[in-house]
Structure 1
Amino acid sequence: MDIEDLHSWPDSVEEAEALQERLRDRVREEPGPAVVRTVAGLDVAYGSHSDEAVAAAVVVLDAATLRVVESAVAVERPSFPYVPGLFAFRELPALLSALRKLRATPDLLVCDGHGRAHFRRFGLACHLGLLTGLPAVGVGKTFLVGEHVEPGRERGSFTDLVHEGEVVGRTLRTQTGVKPVYVSVGHRVDLDTATRHVLALSPSYRLPETTRQSDRLSRAALRERESDPASAPPPAAAPRGR
């Protein structure tokens, strides 16, 4: 699939933060997509030494049955330091490599991470949405910024996640009596649409099937790579095309 040439790759924390500030106004919040046939889940697993390898997995599910229809993996060395709010710059290169291996383009991306619920309103889901041009949603296991009231115990209950007076996401209960997840807009969706899709993707467990399946695949790829000393990941490099 095509990846847009949006920017050169930052060499420092200051450049990365400035890039997020510059790109955040390009994120579009809109009602679509109303109909989704395929959904891609994206997740990254880190090796025992986080500077040595990351395994990125993309798993495409049939939105109606939640069955896996395609998957791809890339294992690479991270090229950016571990900095809160800038995780995208560690994970994007491998995620984009995995996305390029897909035969078909999914209708929606669901990221294990945040979108607008971010210090600079430009988390991983926003960045991936802009680079691919696809609708994207962020689903965090924990919240990064903001405050919220605990939602009701029932499945489907939610409250707003608010940061500096702005609603940046939702605290969503995907299963009755379990911990909520944190949903935010990535690109080309609105918060109602994002919430609806995440709930539909979570029929039985706290995390959406997109996250569960991509997490499982990324961990398996990393275990396989670490068990074979001859298959070390290639040196870190900036993503192709930027």
Structure 2
Amino acid sequence: MDIQYIHTFTMQTKEECRTLQQKLKAQIDLTSRVKMAHIHNCAGVDVAYWEENGVSYGACSIVVVDYQTKNVVEKVHSVGEVTVPYLPGFLAFRELPLILEAAKKLQVEPDVFLFDGNGYLHYEHMGVATHASFFLNKPTVGIGKSYLKIKGYDYVMPEDAAGAYEDIVIDGEVYGRVVRTAKGVKPIFLSCGNYIDLDMSYQLMMHFISKESKLPIPVRLADLHTHELRKRYRQSTGK
């Protein structure tokens, strides 16, 4: 996988970051580059953070899962100091260095990346799943565990049934989809990242839902792995 790099991680001002987001936004393509029949491996991506003595650190996990068997075929990670501060709306600038460092280690090429985070459901349609797509050059999907409220719009709660959903419509545009992946659980917030449409994103996500979690298997495994990494690296430094 050829990961392309451009100079985006030395943030100076919010205005410069927003300008880059708007430039990339013009290149978003919400049509599917891959057909379901051609999907063999899907990757889950998550990032976890912690602080030690006033220094921020992060760990990114990418877990690649076979589409048919749902077994793990590869797991990679990166760990490092985080120098970009957290700014609402600009999370991708904070997470991408770790994500791309982990992605460089992949030996198996995923067909789609599923992110623990938003994609098109973002103030500028540039959540981490969308932003990352321009570097990974693969279809991406955003899966948020909490709702990012945009322009004061609330979502419509889907019925309490597995697979039930309601589209999130803001100013007449569909930003994403609130989905109840199982009966009796809180919904999650699905949005396209890039190079994939919303219906295919939904189908792909639901394919990986199991009784263990409301999250799709690749994202759940990446989430669990980041928690393990955070504990391990904290202990290794003796802090």
TM score, norm. by length of structure 1: 0.90
Provide structure 2 residue ranges, at least 5 long, that are not aligned to the other structure.
none
* Contact 2:146/2:188 (8 A) holds in 1: yes
Kindly indicate which of the two structures has a greater share of residues assigned to strand. Answer: 2
Offset at residue 32 of structure 1 (A): 4.2
Instruction: Give the equivalent residue in structure 1 for 2:229.
Output: 221
Distance in 1 (alpha carbons) for counterparts of 2:113 and 2:55 = 26
2:183 and 2:68 mapped to 1: Cα distance?
22
Distance 2:131 2:21 in 1: 8
Alignment of 1:76-91 (within 5 A): 76-91=80-95
Deviations 1:165-220 (A, max 9, x none): 32100001111121111000101100000011111111222111111100111111
- 1:209 & 1:196 partners in 2: Cα distance? 14
TM-score (norm 2): 0.91
Aligned pair count?
A: 231
Q: What does the per-residue CA deviation read over 1:151-177, in whole Å, with 9 as the maximum and x for residues that have no partner?
A: 011111100112233210000111112
* Structure 1 residue 21, shift from structure 2 partner: 1.2
Partner of 1:153: 160
Q: 2:141 aligns with which of 137, 140, 155?
A: 137
More relative contact order in 1 or in 2 (CA 8 Å, sep 6+)? 1
State the match for 2:189 in structure 1. Answer: 182
Matches of 1:25 and 1:46, distance apart in 2 = 31
Amino acid at match of 1:143: Y
Matches within 5 A, 1:1-242: 1-9=1-9, 10-35=11-36, 36-49=39-52, 51-145=55-149, 146-204=153-211, 205-229=213-237
Taking every aligned residue pair, what percent have the same amino acid on both sides? 34
Q: Is the 8 A contact 2:56 2:83 kept in 1?
A: no
Give secondary structure in 2 for the equivalent of 1:53: strand
Q: Unaligned regions of 5+ residues in structure 1, if any?
A: 233-242
Query: Offset of 1:114 from its aligned partner?
Result: 0.5
SS of residue matched to 2:236: coil
CA contact (8 A) 1:136 1:186 kept: yes
1:29-85 deviation per Cα after TM superposition (whole angstroms, max 9, x unaligned): 113422311000000111145842000000000111211100111001112111111
Contact 2:89–2:122 (8 Å) recurs in 1:
yes
The alpha carbon displacement at 1:7 in A equals 4.2
Contact (CA 8 Å) 1:32, 1:190: kept in 2 or not? no
Report the aligned-residue RMSD: 1.7
Q: Distance in 2 between matches of 1:42 and 1:8?
A: 20
